[in-house]
Each structure stands twice: as C-alpha cells, then as structure tokens.
Structure 1
Amino acid sequence: MVGKELLLSLAIFIISLIPLLILRKFLLELLKKLPQEHFGIVLQIARFPSLLWIVLTSLYLTLKLYPPFAISQGAFLEKAFISLIILSLTLFFANLVSELLRFYISKTSLKFPRTGIIFWLTKFLIIILGVITLLSFLGIPVIHFVTTLGIGGLAISLALQGTLSNFFSGLNIIASRQIEVGDLIKLENGEEGYVQDITWMNTVIRKRDGNAVIIPNSRLVNSVVINYHKPTSESNVIVPLSVSYSDDLEKVEELTLKVAKEVQESVDGADPNFEPFIRYTSFGDSGINFHVVLRVLDPEFQFIVRHHFIKRIKKAYKEEGIEIPYPTRKIYISDEGT
C-alpha cells in the first residue's frame, strides 16, 4: 500500500513537473530574444532559481492533489515549501537588484560610488526584508526578531570594534566622495596608485607597477591623502630647469615656451588649449633656476608629457647654444708661504 501511494505521488509530481519545465524553457527563450542589456542579467540570474521554483511548485501541487500524503505531512511540508520559496525569491531579488544597479551605474554618468560595499549593502537590506517576511509567515512576532537583532548587534559591536570602525569609515569615504574608484591618489607614506575598490573592510589601490596596496578604511580616513583627480582630472606638470648665468634670459624664455607649446599641441594627453609658462625661481650655485609649467588632461599622461618635453628642450638648447649647467667647483690655490 505504501509503495502504491509513493508511486502515485511520484506520478503526480512528474506530470506537474513536465509542463512547468516546458514553460520555463519557453520563457528563457523569450528572454534571449529581448534586448540583452537588461534581460540578459535577468536570464543569467534566473537560471538556477527557476529550476528550484519549478521543483518546489511540483512538490506543492503533489501535496495538494494527493490527499493521503497531505493528511500525514501536509501542514509541515507546506510551510517548508513556502519558506524555501520565500528564501529563494529573496536571494534572487537581492542578486538581481544588485546587478541591475551595477549595470545602471556603468552605463550612465551618474556620480555614484562604483564600489563593492554599495552592492553588498543593497543585498543585505533585501535579505533582511526577506527574513522579516519569512518570520511573519511562520507566525513569529517580528518584534522578537528586532529585539534579538538589537541585543546581538550590541554584543557584536563590542567584540568587533576594529571591523566596525573599518566598515563605517568605508561608508564615510563613499558618502564624502573625496576619494572614488578610479581616482589617482598619493598617501602620506609615499604610496601612489589608482583606487580600484572600496570594500566594507579596506580600500584597494593599484600601483603603477600593477601591485595592489590594501589599506584599512579606518587608516585611510585618518591619513593625509593627495587626490590628483579632485577637484578636476586636469593637472599641471612642473618641470624644473636651470640655465647658465651667461645665457640671455629673454631668449631662454622665448625658446622654452616655443618648445612647451609644441609639446602641448602634439603629445597625446596634453591639454592643447593650455598656454604653458615659465617662472624664474632662484639664483642657484651653478645657474639660474626656473620652472616650466605644462598641463595634462589626466595625471596618467604626466610622465609621457614630461618625457617628450625634456627630450625636445635639451635638443633645442643645444642647437641654440644655451647651456644647461651642472654642479662645478672652483679651487683656488694660494702661493703664500712658498
């Protein structure tokens, strides 16, 4: 008798499962034909949960369509099935909203922090709402959950002060927008690189040599940081130079500005609309010192612009007979007492 009931329930399960699988395949094929910008994300995330929903739906239909089975285990299994559906829907929407948010940010010019902590918080809030919904369905008063969560949160906060400090420091970094993903920054210890990610624990900086520097958020908040992309990505390039005391400074200035202007107009990354200028700064030990100021559209181009300018200015000075001095010493030998 038990074997017969088991076979009958299995038959009902299979009969209900087949049309649902066909329906799933039809809907997935339909999603493939739609514009993939948004629906491609839905298709990718829904593949596995949709199978789980079909299996749970078939089990639920079996429970409802086969009374003997429902009488023995119906109440418990019904709650279990619906609880699993609520949890799976919660995880599905948490992943879906997070990925759609990531996609929307990447496709727009919206000034929004592109960091992992934002997507993690989005998932966390949706999961909390799902858990509250599940507790309400199971008949557990939500106030008990909130009270337990508050007491547990207090205990966790005392035990994880350092972790929470990094977490809230990360939120502070994101909210202030003084440091964002993609910015070129320099730390007070001399480390320099591009901000790759701001997580809930640390900030990852990619150096120019490709290595990563991982900084706890609490330390970054309390550090002196130079951000080369704030308030604008345009940046001045200052090149120190020196010429001999015997050179004509008017000629030096005219020739230097001519070369600097050529660099500004011809080198990729230089600002073609910027008028370079020079400023004499001091009388040095071996010559007259001055600075040449150029500008790049992004700090990444400062090295190539400086590279081309130094090459061209040396060649131009040599052709015009302008001397770039180097340190020299004069030794006077007295013949007194000989």
Structure 2
Amino acid sequence: MMLPDYVVESPLWGTLYAAGVMAAALTIAAVIQLVFVAVVRNRRRANPDGLDVDMLQTVKGPAVLFAVIMGLFLAYLTLAQITHPAFEVIHGREAWAKNVWLIIIIIEFSYLGSHLIQTMMTWYLHNVAAKTATDLDDKLIPPLRRLAPLIVYSITSLLVLDVVGIAITPMLAGLGIGGIAIALAVQPTLSNFFAGTYLISEGELNEGDYIELDKGPAGFVVEVGWRSTKIRNRINNLVIIPNSKMVDTIVTNTFSPTPAMNVVITCGVSYESDLEQVESVVQRISDDIVEEFEFTVTGSEPFFAFRAFGDSNIDFIVSITCTSRAGSFIVGSELIKRIHKRFREEGIEINYPVRKLIAAESNGSGHDNLLEQAIIENEQSSQATR
C-alpha cells in the first residue's frame, strides 16, 4: 500500500491517516448493517418463509465483521510504513500481519460457510422435507447438518496450518492411514449406517408397519434409524435389530403394499358329507361376516375351495379379506366359531384322530412296576359336530 511522503514521514499525519482508514471501515460496516436490515425486512414482508431471508440473516454478521477486520488490517499497514522512530516496534512485521489477517479471514469464511450450509438444510427440513411423501429427507438432513461443520472446520484447520508454514502433506498421508485403521475398527457401525441408508432410501419400511423377520422377531415398526430398526412385539417389548441384519434377512411387511390382508381358515369334513351343502353353508357364513364386521374390506368376495382328499376328511379353505392384521384375528376367530356352530346344526361331521393309551404292567420280577406305553393312533369317525 503506497502512501504519500508527508504521511510516511510525519507521525501525526500517519496516525490521522490510519484513523481515517479505520473510520472509513467502520462507516462501511455500519452501512452494510443498515442495508442488510432493510433488505431482510422487505424480503421477510414479501416472503416470510423464503430461503433468502435466512441466508441474508446469516451473511449479515460476517459481512460487517469483514469490513471491520479490513479496516484494522489497512490501518496497521499504514502505521507500519511510518518512518518515525516511535513506530519502529511494528516495522518489518507486515508479513506476520498478513498471515494473521489471512488466518482470521479463513476462520471467518469457514464460519460463514458452515452456517450457510446449516441454514439451507434447516430451511429445507422445515419447508420442503415436511411436505414430501417420504421421510427420507427428514431422516437424512439432521445427521448431514451435524456432519457439515465437522468437515468445514477440518478443512479450515488444514488451511490454517498451511498458512503458518506447517507442512500438511505428511498429515494428510497420516490421516489416510489413520482413516483406514478407524474404518476397520468401526466396521460394524459403518455397516449398520450404510444398511440404514439403504433401508431409509428404499422407503419400504414405515413406522406402524407390521413386519416379520425370517427366523427372527416380528412386531410393529417403531423407528427406522441409521444404526438400528426398532420394533414392538406382541407382548409390548421393544426389540432393537441392527440394520445390517435387516438387509441380510427376508423381511415380510404385512402392511405393504396395503394394510389389507387375507385371513385363511383350513378345515375338513367327513367323506360322507354333502359337499354342495358344505360349500353353501360356509359361503353364507362368510358373506354374513363380511357384511357385519367393520374389519372386512367392503365389497370383497370371500373365497371358498375344496383343497385335498385328506386321510379322514375332505379338506377345504375359506378366505376373507380384512382391513388390517389386527382385524384378521377377530374375523378369523368369529369365522371358526360360526362354522363350528353351523356344522353342528346341519349335522356335518368333522373327523378327528383319537389316541388310546394302553398300559402294560411288569412281570413282577422284583423291579418297580414299569409302564410300557404304546400310542396307537386310530382314525375313528367321531362326530365332532352335530
């Protein structure tokens, strides 16, 4: 920065010049403050939920601070060029001052960048993510918002070290090796995290869905997190399942694509039964249940079919579409009760096996009596219902 000779040679004029520079910087800072306040007020009046309002609010403070810092730096450079002996203490320190100024600017811009990223993510979370059909962004934004400052300030630290003359290349190499070691140490956590990312991005599991894991627990989904999935089982216990296990097993979602599900009842009638009568009776019972119960899907047709020739019965199935899994238990129970009652009234027989236990005592050789039990399954045609 070139100064007039009278400023360089005179301590009075030099001091006044530096004070003028500082005063100009403060004036610019005040103008920036007033301009930002006016613009923010107008934009908030026009669009209260606009992203630009939040962005301007975030930029205002750092912009004012930048003007003040520039004023201080230029004022210092002015004083450093005064040749009077009173200012010898600061002569030759311009390079040091530039490094300090550069470090402050790096930190300030890092602060600004970090807060701008968080402002944009917060605005998106409140104004966009809340209105989307899926909750992927609702769950993705919070961890990213916490991670962003960490990344920004890590880069800032490396830049500051480079400014002060510390070689960062060996540090980057060391961080690479250390990163591999850390990755191996936290491999299970990372595995669960990426599995959670997959589960959330797929959107196949939602809170309230009833899921069943192959050879695992079953229950209602409470939360699909980044590390684990929480379900509440039938006895109201909270089961926490690592996401890595969720993606490596077969998961049945009874609520997908819709909560509606079929309740299927299997039964059988004796070979002497009139099959036309059996079908008619069961069909009337099913139709009545569909009309009477709110847990059945309105307009759905019950399904009836004879299935196979069994050992003692002709097997059949009957199916009714229910609105939910909970409703299917109620409908299934009522269907069994009505079929049993109506078969008794109609004289339709359901054969079932009878077990006879035959006990034989020991031959009295001095040992305790031994019982030899032989279970003979004798399929007898017994009238279970009349």
> CA, structure 1 residues 146+306, in 2 after alignment: closer, same or farther (shift >3 Å)?
same
Cα gap change, 1:80 to 1:235, in 2 (>3 Å): same
Decide whether the 8 Å contact of 1:244 with 1:288 is kept in 2.
yes
> Within the alignment, does 1:220 sit opposite 2:252 as a pair?
no
- What is the distance in 1 between the residues matched to 2:156 and 2:139? 26
> 1:154 Cα shift?
0.7
Gaps of 5+ in 1: 333-338
Q: 1:62 aligns with which of 47, 54, 68?
A: 68
Q: TM-score, normalised by structure 1?
A: 0.65
Once residues 252 and 306 of structure 2 are traced to their aligned partners in structure 1, the CA distance between those partners, rounded to angstroms, is: 26
What residue is the counterpart of 1:196 in the other structure? 223
8 Å CA contact 1:276–1:292 kept in 2: the answer is yes
Q: After superposition, where does 1:262-281 map in structure 2 within 5 Å?
A: 262-264=288-290, 267-268=293-294, 270-281=296-307
Pick closer, same or farther for the CA change 1:264–1:81 going to 2, 3 Å: farther
Q: Secondary structure at the match of 1:163?
A: helix
Please tell me whether the aligned partners of residues 237 and 306 of structure 1 are also in contact (alpha carbons under 8 angstroms).
no
1:233 and 2:240 aligned: no
Q: What is the TM-score when the length of structure 2 is the normalising length? A: 0.58
CA distance in 1 between partners of 2:355 and 2:286 (Å): 34
Tell me if structure 1 keeps the 8 A contact 2:211–2:254. yes
Count of residue correspondences: 314
Q: 1:92 aligns with which of 110, 113, 116?
A: 116
Paired residue secondary structure (1:275): coil
Query: Which residue of 2 is the match for residue 335 of structure 1?
Result: none
Residue range with higher mean Cα deviation, 100-109 or 189-198: 100-109
Larger radius of gyration: 2
Could you say what secondary structure the match of 2:103 adopts? helix
Deviation at 1:157, TM superposition (A): 1.4
Moved more, 265-274 or 139-148: 139-148
Change (3 A) 1:126 1:61: closer
Counterpart of 1:302?
325
**Equivalent residue, structure 1, for 2:374:** none
Q: Secondary structure at the residue paired with 2:181? A: helix
- After superposition, give the CA deviation of every residue in 1:289-332 in whole Å (9 maximum; x if it has no partner): 543212245xxx13224424643774587478247979796989
Inter-CA distance 42–131: structure 2 relative to 1 (3 Å threshold): farther
Query: Equivalent residue for 2:210?
Result: 184
Matched, 1:163 2:176: no
- The change in CA–CA distance for 1:258 and 1:81 in structure 2 (over 3 A counts) is farther
Q: Any conservation in 1 of the 2:28–2:67 contact (CA below 8 Å)?
A: no
Query: Separation in 2 of the partners of 1:287 and 1:128?
Result: 71
**Distance verdict in 2 for CA 1:165–1:302, change over 3 Å:** closer
Greater relative contact order (CA < 8 Å, ≥ 6 in sequence):
1
Following TM superposition, by how much is the alpha carbon of 1:192 offset from its aligned partner in structure 2, in angstroms?
2.0
For the residues of structure 1 that align with 2:44 and 2:263, how far apart are their CA atoms?
Answer: 55
Structure 1 residues 201-212: aligned runs within 5 Å: 201-207=227-233, 211-212=237-238
User: Are the structure 2 counterparts of residues 184 and 259 from structure 1 closer, same or farther at C-alpha, using a change threshold of 3 Å?
Assistant: same
* Contact kept in structure 1, 2:295 and 2:331, CA below 8 Å: no
1:79 aligned onto 2:107: no
3-state secondary structure, aligned to 1:158: helix
Runs (5+) with no aligned partner, structure 2: 1-17, 80-89, 91-95, 358-386
Offset, 1:233: 2.6
Equivalent residue of 2:179, what SS?
Answer: helix
Q: Please give the secondary structure, in 2, of the residue aligned with 1:189.
A: coil
CA distance in 1, matches of 2:133, 2:278: 45
CA distance in 2, matches of 1:286, 1:14: 101
Percent identity, please: 23
* C-alpha spacing 1:144/1:210, structure 2 compared with 1 (3 Å): farther
What root-mean-square deviation, in Å, do the aligned CA atoms of Structure 1 and Structure 2 show?
Answer: 5.1
- Alpha-carbon spacing, 1:20–1:82, altered in 2? closer, same or farther (3 Å): farther
Alignment partners' CA distance in 2, 1:291 and 1:325: 14
